[in-house]
């Protein structure tokens, strides 16, 4: 819009380019979120109660694209982007999920996966913590808890575990841990991942990553694998690197020196298996964000003995 107005005024083509600082300050960002989950299970590990309440900034009804009038109008309805991915795939006697979207002092909006990245991370962190509390293997806990209609999720979960050698993995130690996670994206595509994480004096490092991915009929396998890799690397960033502090109603970082992203040396060997669980394509674009981050942080929890409750995890 700025370029169009300037071009009209001067009668010539105009290019407007923000500085990196401008982009951080004036662009919109994926909103932060805060989650509280309460789970319980019986002696056999069957989930009896699931409660998940969370708050986040707007995603679809973003202040970046809406004036005060529309912001007021949309305050009476829930933002579906915030809710994406918040319904767990696990069966329980009683399940309740509730959330509140709030206007924040900085512009928030849709990024990769909308709310699914944070919501899936919270779900997969909680189920993993429940498995540890009950003394049940995290893979077994998930397989026995999945709702009957999610057979395709069971397939990718078993495939990812088989690829990584989950059942014969070395015993978790103070220096190395293994974690897994799975999830559903937009109620139609499925993914599961296993991560191996090591710890040193400089912090945590992902040293292995395996992912099974089911987006139905695969038309272009190379492109789907590229999408999955991108999601998984982004998950490493979400788990270990990316943080956007806000101070006094303004974004603090002004460049990528202040906002670190994963670089090639942070990326381990990634193995991907594509599974066609449907005769129709169901979408590969953002599916793997439901499992990558939690697989990494669950591996950290396995080696540290402490559930990860805040992102990013900066140091060992």
* 11 domain residue, yes or no: no
* 9 domain residue, yes or no: no
* 256 domain residue, yes or no: yes
Average pLDDT over residues 241-265: 92
Cβ neighbors of 309 (< 8 A, separation 6 or more) are 125
Give pLDDT, residue 200: 87
Average pLDDT over residues 233-238: 96
β-pair partners for 270 = 209
Give pLDDT, residue 316: 64
How far is it, in rounded angstroms, from Cα 102 to Cα 25?
20
For 170-191, what is each residue's pLDDT tens digit?
987 889 999 999 999 999 999 9
* 143 domain residue, yes or no: yes
Distance separating the N- and C-terminal Cα atoms of the chain:
46
**What is the extent of the structural domain holding 61?**
26-304
Question: Quick one: residue 225, left, alpha or beta (phi over 0 = left, psi -120 to 50 = alpha)?
Answer: alpha
Domain count, the chain: 1
pTM score, whole prediction: 0.93
For 182-229, what is each residue's pLDDT tens digit?
999 999 999 999 999 999 888 999 999 999 999 999 999 999 999 999
Give pLDDT, residue 62: 85
Give pLDDT, residue 73: 82
Asked if residue 239 has pLDDT above 80, the reply is yes
Give pLDDT, residue 202: 86
CATH number at residue 153: 3.30.365.10
Give pLDDT, residue 99: 96
Q: What are phi and psi of 99, to 5 degrees?
A: -150, 165
Q: What are phi and psi of 293, to 5 degrees?
A: -65, -45
* 16 domain residue, yes or no: no
Give pLDDT, residue 177: 95
Residues 60 and 37: beta-carbon distance below 8 Å: no
Asked if residue 129 has pLDDT above 80, the reply is yes
For 91-117, what is each residue's pLDDT tens digit?
999 999 999 999 888 888 888 889 999
For 29-80, what is each residue's pLDDT tens digit?
999 999 999 999 998 899 999 999 999 999 988 887 888 888 888 888 898 9
Mean pLDDT taken over the chain: 94
For 132-165, what is each residue's pLDDT tens digit?
999 999 999 999 999 999 999 999 999 999 999 9
Residues 205 and 286: beta-carbon distance below 8 Å: no
Closest listed residue to residue 147, CA positions, set 103, 187, 101: 187
For 8-34, what is each residue's pLDDT tens digit?
999 999 999 999 999 998 888 999 999
Strand, coil or helix: 168: helix
Q: DSSP alpha helices (H): ranges in the chain?
A: 2-10, 20-26, 68-74, 80-83, 116-134, 138-145, 151-164, 221-240, 292-304
Percentage of the chain beyond pLDDT 90 is 81
* 31 domain residue, yes or no: yes
* 310 domain residue, yes or no: no
Residues 208 and 185: beta-carbon distance below 8 Å: no
Average pLDDT over residues 249-270: 93
* 14 domain residue, yes or no: no
| Cis amide leading into 307 (omega within 30) | no
How far is it, in rounded angstroms, from Cα 107 to Cα 58?
9
């Amino acid at each position: 819009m700025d370029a169009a107005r300037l071009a009209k005024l001067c009668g010539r083509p105009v290019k407007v380019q923000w500085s990196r600082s401008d982009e951080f300050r004036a662009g919109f960002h994926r909103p932060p979120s805060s989650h509280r989950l309460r789970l319980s299970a019986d002696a056999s590990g069957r989930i009896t109660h699931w409660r998940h309440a969370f708050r986040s900034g707007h995603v679809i009804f973003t202040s970046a694209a809406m004036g005060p009038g529309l912001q007021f109008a949309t305050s009476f309805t829930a933002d579906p982007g915030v809710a994406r991915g918040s319904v767990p795939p696990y069966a329980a006697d009683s399940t309740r999920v509730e959330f509140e979207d709030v206007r924040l002092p900085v512009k928030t909006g849709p990024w990769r996966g909308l709310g699914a990245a944070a919501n899936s991370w919270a779900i997969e962190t909680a189920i993993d913590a429940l498995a540890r509390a009950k003394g049940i293997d995290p893979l077994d806990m998930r397989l026995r808890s999945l709702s009957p209609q999610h057979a395709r999720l069971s397939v990718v979960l078993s495939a990812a575990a088989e690829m990584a050698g989950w059942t014969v993995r070395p015993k978790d130690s103070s220096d190395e841990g293994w974690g897994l996670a799975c999830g559903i994206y937009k109620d139609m595509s499925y993914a599961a991942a296993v991560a191996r994480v090591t710890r040193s004096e400089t912090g945590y490092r992902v040293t292995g990553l395996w992912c099974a991915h089911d987006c139905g009929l695969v038309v272009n396998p190379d492109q789907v694998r590229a999408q999955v890799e991108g999601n998984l690397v982004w998950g490493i960033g979400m788990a270990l690197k990316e943080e956007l502090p806000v101070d006094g109603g303004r974004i603090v970082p002004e460049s990528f020196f202040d906002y670190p992203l994963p670089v090639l040396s942070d990326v381990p060997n990634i193995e991907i298996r594509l599974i066609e669980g449907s005769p129709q394509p169901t979408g590969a674009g953002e599916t793997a964000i439901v499992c990558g981050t939690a697989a990494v942080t669950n591996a950290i929890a396995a080696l540290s003995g402490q559930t990860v409750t805040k992102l990013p995890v900066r140091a060992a």
